[in-house]
A and B are shown apart, each in its own frame.
Chain A
Amino acid sequence: MSCRQWLSSAARQCQSALAQQQPRTFSTSAPVAATRSLFHDNTLSSTTPNSRRPRASSANPSEALHGLLTDGLERGGPLSAEQQREVMEQQQGGARAYVRDLRTNATTENYVRQMPRRWRIGELYAPRDLTPAEMKKWRQGRRPNKDVVDMLGFSPLDNYRNFSLISEFMTTMGRIKHSDDTGLRPVNQRKMAKAIRRAVGMGLHPSVHRHPEILRLSRHGLPTSAIPTPSDPSQNRL
């Protein structure tokens, strides 16, 4: 049997399988039922090897062996019409499950986006904290109520080369952030602004957008903390 012949026979079987399948799934009227009863024997005989497989393995070893052998034979040869139908149904079912998973995932993502609060361990919640009105408040960033420079005790002017720090106090359009947004006290705000101007003036930091190194990291989805920390600038001072 040539290759082409084998293919054409398989195609014919496929067509006949579709022809058998359609009336069974879509109609239960009398003539169709009659054709189904005609095909009934055929379908039974063709499905037995598959349906017998688990039963045979448990009941009788010799029968199981026979089942295995016939399976092997069938696996090698072309699929019967009914088997092809089963495979197609399985594939369709898998696709359906996949679509369902995707839909569940999308729903979850949508809901998670509506819940911006990042629950920290040990926090307390009451039913009111789960309401949309309360959740909305967690979406907008607030002005920090502590002076970061005072808290960490560093000098902004010594850190003009630290582009992740400089970027933090600039907008994406390259402007220096207002102290309303930074939460720095006037002295530190002035120092920070001077450090930014110094970095931009020396060409160490772009004046129109974020630093390319930070952009690279954000493109790879890495946090800014992935940047190796520069050596302590106070030690570099002469």
Chain B
Amino acid sequence: MAARSVSPGGALLRASRMFALPSPIPPPPNDSSAGTNFNSDTATLAFPTHQVITTLSSSRKQGDWGLKRPLPLKSTTKSSNPMLRVKAIDTIEQITDYSSATDHGITLRKFQELGMPLSARRPASGDMKDTTSTMNLPQKSVFEESFDMTDIHPDKRAEAMDSRWKFTGPWLAGMTQGEFNKWLAKHVRPKRPEFRQFLKKKIASELHAAAAKEALDKGLEQPALMDASAVTEDQLIDYLRKLRHDNQALYDMVGQFLDLAPLAPPTVSQTGLPKEKVSTLTFNEMKNPYAERGPPITHPSAGLSYLRTSMYMENHPIYGPQKHHTPVVARVLRPRRQAQAAAARLGVAGFVVNTPLGDTGFNSRSGHAVFDKIDPTVEGGAKVWVQAQRASVDSSGRVVLTVNDTTREAQLVAQELLGEAVCLGVQPAENEMNKRESASDIRQRYRAADSPAMSSAQDYGLRE
């Protein structure tokens, strides 16, 4: 219906790439707060900021990407994965600014190949390290109704505090002192009269509730709704004095007014309980999954996966349902250096991943594993088989994957599927397509054959 009301020119514009391309999102912050100024401005960003566009092969041959002008064939037709990001459709030099986007495009494909759901509670990264007591706690999908509330009535926003992931106010625990001071001066102080009005409304509703209860007790008629303007200044000052002595109530009011992101409950030193107990308690009692490490900057799934659970079985055509998901090959990005107490870093599906905690092969003391050394003779670098365990998006938009050791059987089955291993003594079928023949092999084969390889006039009986 809506499309019909648009003029033909308007419809054409709407369908064009010019309008279909969303404006780019801000890049991930580089960690100047971590004290490191070592970075590269050309490194692959932790998440894509521009829309990735693609085109059909026939159009690509003509340079047609649906943009204002055809793109150069030399740089766009060679890749086997046509993916581009357009930084500017038109510049003052009258060119289209584009670059290859295979880095993020292929990463998305690889991630989807893992078949992982994204969970709400993010595992450790950066400063917040996972421990053996927290690593195996159960996770919930980001698409659970209790977490994934986006369409909320403006009056019910305070009630839905624990099930939201988007807040207009900041997450106080993630601010530095300087940022906090600036925020106070710039955003909070000008709101003083508004806050007084907000409190007056609260007082009015509280007074009304009290009056209504009394009326109900006495069997009288319900009083009319009280207006905020009826609250006197004295009442407000009294209420403010009361609030000042009740930290929790004050924080609730301020948090509700500024729409602050929730904060984590008390820590070990405040409760005096053992550490493990507190971490488990925090896990069970904390209603909002983002209170501990900050709310995410996007939807907590980041659009990477729409699966809700990993509780499904993979079926093998010969061996039947598999206990484990298919393991994947991880690249050893940095070897483990025991002298520097530096753990190995793995790359799974293009994401940098920590080695698993606890009693795994990655934590054995012997320094003779693949991830303990760099062997320049190994083509393509050292790789290990791992089992992707869970994934989630952290508050800065990075995807944090957790991997574990794979079992021997799962690895063997996966390797057999790739043709790298043999199960149950069955030789892999000789595949004509995969067989590699050198030029001399082919020549010999043709020489050894009885009949001539190439047909000649003689074969057709044309010449004696």
B178 at the interface (CB under 8 A from A): yes
A134 at the interface (CB under 8 A from B): yes
Contact present for A125 and B350 (CB under 8 Å): yes
| Size of A's binding interface in residues, CB under 8 A | 39
Q: How far is the CB of A96 from chain B (nearest CB, A)?
A: 15
Closest 6 A/B residue pairs (Cβ): A122-B398, A153-B178, A126-B103, A137-B40, A153-B177, A121-B125
Contact present for B333 and A154 (CB under 8 Å): no
Contact present for B398 and A121 (CB under 8 Å): yes
The docked-state distance in angstroms from the alpha carbon of A138 to that of B347 is 18
Q: Which of B42-50, B140-148, B449-457 forms contacts with chain A? A: B42-50
Contact present for B351 and A123 (CB under 8 Å): yes
B residues within 8 Å of A by Cβ? 30-33, 36-47, 102-104, 106-107, 124-126, 176-182, 333-335, 337, 345, 347, 350-354, 372-376, 394, 396, 398-401
- B373 cross-chain contacts in A, Cβ below 8 A: 104-105, 107-108
Can you spell out 16 A-B residue pairs with CB atoms less than 8 angstroms apart?
Answer: A120-B126, A120-B352, A122-B351, A122-B352, A122-B396, A124-B350, A125-B44, A126-B103, A126-B107, A128-B103, A138-B39, A144-B32, A150-B182, A152-B177, A153-B182, A183-B37
The docked-state distance in angstroms from the alpha carbon of A128 to that of B350 is 12
- A139 cross-chain contacts in B, Cβ below 8 A: 38
The docked-state distance in angstroms from the alpha carbon of A178 to that of B296 is 37
Contact present for A151 and B335 (CB under 8 Å): no
Contact present for A124 and B176 (CB under 8 Å): no
The docked-state distance in angstroms from the alpha carbon of A124 to that of B40 is 13
Q: How far is the CB of A130 from chain B (nearest CB, A)?
A: 8
Q: How far is the CB of B324 from chain A (nearest CB, A)?
A: 23
The docked-state distance in angstroms from the alpha carbon of A138 to that of B394 is 24
Tell me which of B125, B177, B179 contacts A120 (CB under 8 A): B125
- The closest CB in chain B to the CB of A115 belongs to B334
Q: Is the interface of A mostly helix, strand, loop or mixed?
A: loop
Q: How far is the CB of B420 from chain A (nearest CB, A)?
A: 21
Contact present for A121 and B352 (CB under 8 Å): yes
Contact present for A143 and B37 (CB under 8 Å): yes
A213 at the interface (CB under 8 A from B): no
Contact present for B350 and A126 (CB under 8 Å): yes
Those of A82-117 within 8 Å (CB) of chain B:
104-105, 107-108, 111-112, 115-117
Contact present for B40 and A134 (CB under 8 Å): yes
Contact present for A123 and B39 (CB under 8 Å): no
Contact present for B374 and A108 (CB under 8 Å): yes
The docked-state distance in angstroms from the alpha carbon of A130 to that of B345 is 13
- A105 cross-chain contacts in B, Cβ below 8 A: 373
Contact present for B374 and A111 (CB under 8 Å): yes
- B36 cross-chain contacts in A, Cβ below 8 A: 118
A145 at the interface (CB under 8 A from B): yes
- B396 cross-chain contacts in A, Cβ below 8 A: 122
Q: How far is the CB of B302 from chain A (nearest CB, A)?
A: 11
Q: How far is the CB of B7 from chain A (nearest CB, A)?
A: 42
Task: Evaluate whether A123 and B46 lie within 8 angstroms (CB atoms) in the complex, with A115-B334, A144-B32, A150-B178 already known.
Answer: yes
- B179 cross-chain contacts in A, Cβ below 8 A: 151, 153
Given A121-B353, A122-B400, A153-B176, 10 new contacts (CB under 8 A): A112-B334, A112-B337, A121-B125, A122-B125, A126-B44, A137-B39, A137-B41, A141-B37, A143-B37, A145-B30
- B37 cross-chain contacts in A, Cβ below 8 A: 141-144, 183
Contact present for B178 and A121 (CB under 8 Å): no
- A118 cross-chain contacts in B, Cβ below 8 A: 36, 38, 334
Contact present for A119 and B374 (CB under 8 Å): no
Interface string of A163-185 (1 = CB under 8 A from B): 00000000000000000000100
Those of A173-207 within 8 Å (CB) of chain B:
183
- B45 cross-chain contacts in A, Cβ below 8 A: 124
- B44 cross-chain contacts in A, Cβ below 8 A: 124-126, 128-129
Q: How far is the CB of B125 from chain A (nearest CB, A)?
A: 4
Q: How far is the CB of A199 from chain B (nearest CB, A)?
A: 21
| Best-buried of B124, B351, B373 by chain A (most CB within 10 Å) | B373
- A117 cross-chain contacts in B, Cβ below 8 A: 38, 40, 43
Q: How far is the CB of B28 from chain A (nearest CB, A)?
A: 9
The docked-state distance in angstroms from the alpha carbon of A124 to that of B354 is 13
Q: How far is the CB of A10 from chain B (nearest CB, A)?
A: 36
Q: How far is the CB of B207 from chain A (nearest CB, A)?
A: 40
A146 at the interface (CB under 8 A from B): yes
| Best-buried of A123, A134, A154 by chain B (most CB within 10 Å) | A123
